Structure formats: structure tokens, C-alpha cells
Amino acid sequence: MRMLGQGHESEINVTPFIDVLLTLIVMFILLIQIRFVHDVQIPPPQRARAAQGLAIVLDLKPGGGYAINGEPVSPHSLATRIGEIFRPRPDKLLYVRVGEGWNYAGVMAAVDVAKGAGVEEIGYVPPNGH
């Protein structure tokens, strides 16, 4: 304790400091004893898509008509042919390339046929030459 002039004393109040330190010590002790462990379920690694086979591309030809990987397909047999291709495949990804002259409704109709035939994922690719 130090005496200041005129009878005043200066003393550091360490009680709040000690309270904070004790609280932190208790919290650290509790956190060490209580460990939060969460089970994490990670899916098994998938094979690369390149190893699963050739990519399947549905071409919507300019002026109308369909082709799957260059093979012409009639509109009536499109669903059947897509189903035959994708039934044994583990990946259900179909790429769609749209030629000139197709409107949105026509493209979505072809995508709906493909989804109904078992395709789960659709990827759009630019037309040839772009």
C-alpha cells in the first residue's frame, strides 16, 4: 500500500482479475473432460466417370431430329433407346447438345423423355463449332 499526499491510499483491486482467472481455469478443466465427438459418415469413393465408359450425348439436330452419340434415333423410339443405354450403366449422366432451330419447350420435352427413361443428371454442352 502506498501513501499519496493528503492521506489518500492507492491499492490495486485484484478480486475481479482472480475471479476471471478462476472461471477460465474451471472452464478449461470442464472442456478437457467433456469431449464432443460426432460420428462422420463419409460415402465410399466413387470411380472416376472416365473409367465408367463413354459419355452419352443426345444431339438435338438442327431442323429437328435426335441422335445419340451420332446414331440417329426416331422421336418415337427415343425413350426406349435411352432406357436401353442407361439401364446397365452406374452413372446416369446424359449430355445434351442443342442445334439451331430448337426452342425451349422442345429442349425440355427431350430432357423430360430422358429423365423418364432413367437419366438422373443432365449436362448441357455447346453446339459444334462454338
Note whether 9 and 58 are same-domain residues. Answer: no
Note whether 117 and 55 are same-domain residues. Answer: yes
| Nearest-angstrom CA–CA distance, 83 and 85 | 5
Sole residue written with cell 451420332: 70
Q: Look up the pTM and report it.
A: 0.57
Determine the structural domain holding residue 79 and report its residue range: 50-125
Q: Is residue 38 part of a domain?
A: no
Note whether 22 and 54 are same-domain residues. Answer: no
At position 104, the amino acid (one-letter code) is: Y
Instruction: Provide the domain count of the chain.
Output: 2
| pLDDT by residue, tens only, the chain of 130 residues | 555 566 677 788 888 889 999 999 999 888 877 776 666 677 777 655 444 568 899 999 988 889 999 899 998 999 999 999 988 888 889 999 998 888 899 999 999 999 998 898 999 888 765 5
Q: Is residue 65 part of a domain?
A: yes
